[in-house]
Amino acid sequence: MGKALALLFAEHGHSLLLSARNALTLEKTAGEIQSLYPSVAIRYRSADLSTKDGAEEFGQWVLDQGTSIDILINNAGNFVPGSVYNEPEGALDQMLSLNLYAAYHLTRKLLPKMMQQSDAGGSRGHIFNICSIAALKAYANGGAYSISKYALNGFSKNLREELKPYLIKVTTVFPGAVLTDSWGDFDNSTGRIMLPEDIAKMIFAASSLSPQACVEEILIRPLLGDL
């Protein structure tokens, strides 16, 4: 989803500050996007956002670029299947560190800048937190993943209320099954699950509304329902 988002925003002329854990994949992706949209400013830095230090160091790098922070998309995440009673030891810690704390620490690092922009009459800012339908309804084999996404949803709800006085929008995105790396070699030849581009288009549309309109939640599922 991250690549699909970067491509769509670049297509519309947005400068990009990108991050991923895998440095080689990040460099290749940034290069591909830059070749398609040579006039767009694209900068990138590999980071492990699952640690507080990693999230804050990346946040500081963003601040050091000296650009306004118009849109923040918290998309870092991971899925480990299992139930509470049989999932691997440490699964909850692992899921919380990437699915919740990454967004929490990075957002906290960047918010003062975003709030300052708004106070000065500049960009009011928009934060998107990529959650999951697992944050709305528990399901078998969801375990720690579902718990972490419920927590991310709670974080988003609090953030939405707290940032209203600063005119900063917060949108929580609840995708159903999307053809990402977590699905491995899933055969989607019948179009059973959604494409990353579907989610990117919804997020871009929400980011394009007038300043007084805020899409609080985006819930999108495969046409035939959840798997």
CA separation for the pair 113, 68 (Å, rounded): 8
Sign of the four-CA dihedral 36, 38, 42, 45: positive
| DSSP 8-class letter at 194 | B
**Two tokens at 188?**
């989607």
CA-based nearest residue to 45, from 33, 34, 67, 30: 30
Buried-exposed string 43-64: b where 16+ CB fall within 10 A, e elsewhere: ebebbbbbebebbbbbbebbee
The pLDDT value given to residue 118: 83
Cα-based distances in Å from 221 to 1, 56, 175, 226: 15, 33, 6, 7
Contact between residue 110 and residue 59 where contact means Cβ atoms under 8 Å apart: yes
Contact between residue 18 and residue 7 where contact means Cβ atoms under 8 Å apart: no
Sign of the four-CA dihedral 61, 46, 180, 86: negative
The pLDDT value given to residue 183: 82
pTM assigned to the model: 0.95
Contact between residue 98 and residue 77 where contact means Cβ atoms under 8 Å apart: yes
The CATH classification number of 2-220 equals 3.40.50.720
The pLDDT value given to residue 210: 95
Matching residue, tokens 């528990």? 138
At 42 the three-state DSSP class reads: strand
The pLDDT value given to residue 152: 98
Query: pLDDT (tens digit, 0 to 9) for every residue of the chain, 227 residues total?
Result: 999 999 999 999 999 999 999 999 999 999 999 999 999 999 999 999 999 999 999 999 999 999 999 999 999 999 888 999 999 999 999 999 999 999 999 999 999 999 999 877 777 899 999 999 999 998 889 999 999 999 999 999 999 999 999 999 999 999 999 998 878 889 999 999 999 999 999 999 999 999 999 999 999 999 999 88
* Domain layout of the chain by residue ranges: 2-220
- Reading phi first (left if > 0) and then psi (alpha if -120 to 50, else beta), residue 83 is in beta
The pLDDT value given to residue 227: 83
Which secondary-structure segment (H or E) carries 18? strand 16-18
Q: Residue 165: which residues within 8 A CB-CB, separation 6 or more?
A: none
| 105 CB neighbour count, 10 Å cutoff | 21
Sign of the four-CA dihedral 33, 34, 40, 42: positive
